Amino acid sequence: MDIFQKAWDFTEARSARTSGYYPYFQVIESESDATVSIDGRELIMLGSNNYLGLTTHPHVRERARQALEKYGTSCTGSRLLNGNLDIHVELEERLARFVGKESALVFSTGFGTNLGTISAIVGRHDSVVIDKDDHASIYDGCKLSWGKTIRYEHNDVASLREALGKANLGDGGALVVVDGIFSMEGDIAPLPDMLPVLREFGARLMVDDAHASGVLGPHGEGTAAHFGVTDEVDLIMGTFSKSFASLGGFIAGDELVIDYIRHASRPFIFSAAMAPPSVGACIGALDVMESEPQHRERLWEIVRKMQTGYRELGFDTGTSETPVIPIILGDEMLVFGFWRRLLEEGVFVNPVRPPAVPAGRALLRTSYMATHTDEQLDRVLETFAKIGREFGVLEA
């Protein structure tokens, strides 16, 4: 059989485009903020991970501009060889202090951070234990490693204990990897309940704070700081494409562990270094996080308003506690129909279907940023109420 046969047989996307229910690769013609322009229309953006709204912050833009002017557009090589800039080192030192760890290492993408960290740490005789709802990059990091992968039921500590019981603890070690904030349903990993189980089995813990950096914790340090367990979390991972308003990722932990990853991670060693303007933007975002807490405070005002608003209308928002608020509808075609009507009414959301969520749990993923206005949010709730009644999700 021709290896391309699978591509010729793939008709799902073409059928969705023909029917008008294809929601992906929407072309945005403006900067990423509380509103965006699509086909010349202004829409309220509820599909972004720009939680603190820093993509348009003057200081973030200025630090990116300064880095561009001093270092150019690219490092043209890996950190190992010719691409190791002083601003990479500066960012790593500041990130380590920010999250409360000895050392940090920055990668060119968040996805690559999980690939590079898990595959470097988990060897042939080791086990990696993951939550079933963990991000795809964690799953792929497990595939790239040589270790045994074991999944446990979402946020279920009893299931975690059972999974660790199946780990290769006689021959190797175990690494538990969990999202701090889960990206589809907005709930938080129960770290305080998990830690005694990990200690019981001698397992290490890595927390993916992609959606928690800048959001959770007294100063936005992440999930471990939110629960006051920073010293008990071994590795803290974060991405720059969300609250940091840039592109890339980092892993932070004990100095010797980070130095090992620096020299053993193939996705790190064989990738070009993070581009200077992206590094500059990250440093600028970190400046703002540390000096302007009003952005995070405003974000949480919005979270409380929208969580309350949706629930009072009668929508199912699951167990969300964060700026990621799902509207769980269950039926996939209902989700796509609702998405299309929202787009027509000027509201951009992300429709999510299996395998990104479990079967029967298709949803509209909404997310919020500190730059949303109360007027915009009131309009969103009114629009959801209107369309919810149209589709029979809410009582007329």
Q: Catalytic site residues? A: 183, 211, 242
Q: Which residues of 328-362 are buried (b: 16+ CB within 10 A; e: fewer)?
A: bbeebebbbbbbbbbbebebbbbbbbeebbeeebb
Q: What are the two backbone dihedrals, phi and then psi, of residue 219, each rounded to the nearest 5 degrees?
A: -125, 15
- Radius of gyration of the CA atoms of the chain, in A: 21
Range list of β-strands (E), 78-160: 103-107, 127-131, 148-152
Cα(385)–Cα(202) distance, rounded to whole angstroms? 49
In DSSP terms, 150 is beta-bridged to: 129
DSSP state for residue 56 in the 8-state scheme = G
DSSP H or E stretch at residue 287 = helix 276-291
Q: What is the dihedral of CA 126, 129, 134, 140, to 10 degrees?
A: 20
Cα(115)–Cα(262) distance, rounded to whole angstroms? 13
SS (H, E, C) 307-322: HHHHHHHCCCCCCCCC
Read off the amino acid at residue 219. H
Distance of CA 3 to the CA centre of its chain: 33
Taken as a whole, the chain contains a residue count of 396
Mention every residue, 6+ apart, whose C-beta is less than 8 A from residue 181: 187, 188, 189, 209, 210, 211, 212, 215, 216, 223, 322, 324
Q: Which residues of 93-131 are buried (b: 16+ CB within 10 A; e: fewer)?
A: ebbbebbbbebbbbbbbbbbbbbbbbbbbbeeebbbbbb
